[in-house]
Chains A and B, each alone.
Chain A
């Protein structure tokens, strides 16, 4: 029996399929519910996606059953889905990314079971200019989200010393992301260099708890300050994106106070947000990540 439905989003017609498919078996969260979340979060999420080429992580049979990582925007996309081409000398290597700048596109992607949306740090109009600097704080077991939160606050301090304001979101898993809005002239060389320097400084200051080295075998309970994502070809998970974890968690923006409180009280669960919690937060507090789009900051030399 077909479980499809025809809908209209902002004047565009779409057909949604397999709505009853359970994508998160642990809780029974369905594709319909995922589409519903993305539809409701769209007004807040779209500004963070607009212009940024996106890669998809599609889980057609649910989060337990394997995923497809897709950079190339599916050729069968409707014509209101916009794309951006990453040039390459080799014609065959040119990639056409999807760009999510309207609600129907977001819904269309959700229908393709794109659980996670990852974006480039630059925009399609100017692929060489990063709009923000990203730090991905990833804990090596047995370190967990609280350790990431603690490390994030330390990164914030270092950045503040350099005169830069920063904003945090949970990764939706065990990590924390720290974003430094730039929104002006900048190069990846510069942002990567700066991020690397900060990561090394963190490592020197807190050798027992922080590492700047990618190798997983060197982490052992430390938090890896990943600076390498500041690269024209790399992507980070977008704010408000769902994650393919056991439960329908979201990479949700948080305040510094929330991070510090959680660390102080050792309440890791305060840093996990499922979809309905995120919708409620947005209703109460608005878009905590809005400054990442607006704030212009000059990078130190």
Chain B
């Protein structure tokens, strides 16, 4: 798994003066990644899985620990389960960088699930820690025992992070891979993760900067959905503004299934497509809502759920709606009743 290069320890770095003693920074602005395509196989990057949660920095000093988010908010009280991490760190001071995630009932990281833990006071956090547990995925070590590790190359910091061996009930150190990022991205896609992050092996930690040394490669998902309605682009005009889409799930409804609303998609069509779609949907007009639940939109025109469209998207919200959907065309080769939510079914 890791390096072809022998990793130096902190004392080695102290000796060769690649790290300098300094007081622990009170706050750290996390290093940010740029959206990108996957780098070519031979580019000098390491690949890590991208976890959909909240970015969090863990500070330990003189036996006291705290957690801060990207906006430098102190959220320590909201995550009491991270207290034991301090004990696990056999160092007097440390700063860790990572992501706090919560898993949904399908075993995938879900930001929606995590949202129940945001903004909690101490009183509620303890109770919530039981019903919505979180895990801190640690991916960087920035400070250790009085020395800042930020000037070190990523590969060095990574080696030291792995030496720490941080793994507990509520925290883990997920792996990092060199070589071809393609299989890593494939694995991420298969397991419904957001994507991967590519980190340049020789990059120091650049506080608060979004550089090309860290790249985020997001996985685009795609599946068919049934079109059950639309909203016009302009009032009264027979031009589609957005399509209301959904998928079938077994349940109380006609033929033992119901059409679940998955959100609306308003991009991916040309002006011409918007007109053509409006015509196709108008000829399938119906007064009643074909979806199993109320659709939270104004001026909706419902349609018989006969048309199926292919939609690209980047994930699901906690409410079961698509994130950043984009229309990719009609699929008249697919039967509407065969359309189901794929990331759950294909397990």
Chain A interface residues toward B at CB < 8 A: 2, 4, 15-18, 58, 60-61, 65-70, 72, 74-76, 91, 111-113
Contacts and interface: CB of A to CB of B under 8 A. Distances in A.
Given A65-B279, A91-B37, A60 B222 contact: no
A113 B332 contact: yes
B212 to A, nearest CB: 15
B273 interface: yes
Contacts of A60: 280, 307, 330, 332
Contacts of A17: 332-335
Contacts of B222: 75-76
B335 A4 contact: yes
B280 A66 contact: yes
A68 B276 contact: yes
A78 to B, nearest CB: 10
9 contacts: A4-B335, A16-B333, A17-B335, A58-B332, A68-B273, A69-B273, A72-B329, A74-B310, A76-B331
Contacts of A69: 270, 272-273
A112 B332 CA distance: 6
B333 A75 contact: no
A113 to B, nearest CB: 6
Nearest to A69: B272
A75 B331 CA distance: 11
A66 B279 contact: yes
B68 interface: no
B330 A58 contact: yes
B145 interface: no
B61 interface: no
A76 B270 CA distance: 20
Pairs A-B, 5 closest by C-beta atoms: A66-B276, A66-B279, A60-B332, A17-B333, A61-B280
Interface in B253-292: 270, 272-273, 275-277, 279-280, 283
Contact of B329 (A15, A61, A65, A68): A68
A184 to B, nearest CB: 36
Contacts of A61: 279-280, 283
B310 A76 contact: yes
A74 B272 CA distance: 18
Nearest to A21: B332
A68 B277 CA distance: 9
Looking at chain B's contact residues, the main secondary structure is mixed
Contacts of B55: none
Contacts, number: 55
B172 interface: no
Nearest to A56: B329
A65 B280 contact: yes
A75 B280 contact: no
A247 B270 CA distance: 27
Contacts of B307: 60
Nearest to B312: A75
Contact of A74 (B280, B283, B328): B328
Contacts of B276: 65-68
A68 B310 CA distance: 14
A61 B328 CA distance: 18
Interface string B290-305: 0000000000000000
Contacts of B334: 17
Nearest to B334: A17
A66 B275 contact: yes
Given A75-B310, A91-B37, A65 B333 contact: no
Nearest to B278: A66
Nearest to A66: B276
B220 to A, nearest CB: 10
A16 B328 CA distance: 20
Contacts of B272: 69
Contact of A18 (B277, B312, B328, B332): B332
Nearest to B335: A2
Nearest to A16: B333
Contacts of A75: 222, 310, 312, 328
A39 B222 CA distance: 30
Nearest to B269: A68
A58 B272 CA distance: 13
A69 B335 CA distance: 22
Interface in B221-243: 222, 224
A111 B329 CA distance: 14
Contact of A15 (B224, B275, B328, B333): B333
Contacts of A91: 37
B332 A74 contact: no
Interface in B98-125: none
Nearest to B310: A76
Nearest to B332: A60
Given A60-B330, A76-B310, 15 more contacts: A17-B334, A18-B332, A61-B279, A61-B283, A65-B280, A65-B283, A66-B275, A72-B329, A74-B328, A75-B310, A75-B312, A75-B328, A76-B222, A111-B333, A112-B332
Which of A2, A18, A76 lies at the interface centre, i.e. has the most chain B CB atoms within 10 A of its CB? A76
A74 B275 contact: no
Nearest to A74: B329
Nearest to A91: B37
Contacts of A67: 276
A60 B328 CA distance: 15
A91 B38 CA distance: 13
Nearest to B337: A2
Contacts of A112: 332-333
A18 B328 CA distance: 21
Which of A15, A16, A61, A69 lies at the interface centre, i.e. has the most chain B CB atoms within 10 A of its CB? A61
Nearest to A17: B333
A70 B329 contact: yes
A187 to B, nearest CB: 30
A91 B37 CA distance: 9
A13 to B, nearest CB: 13
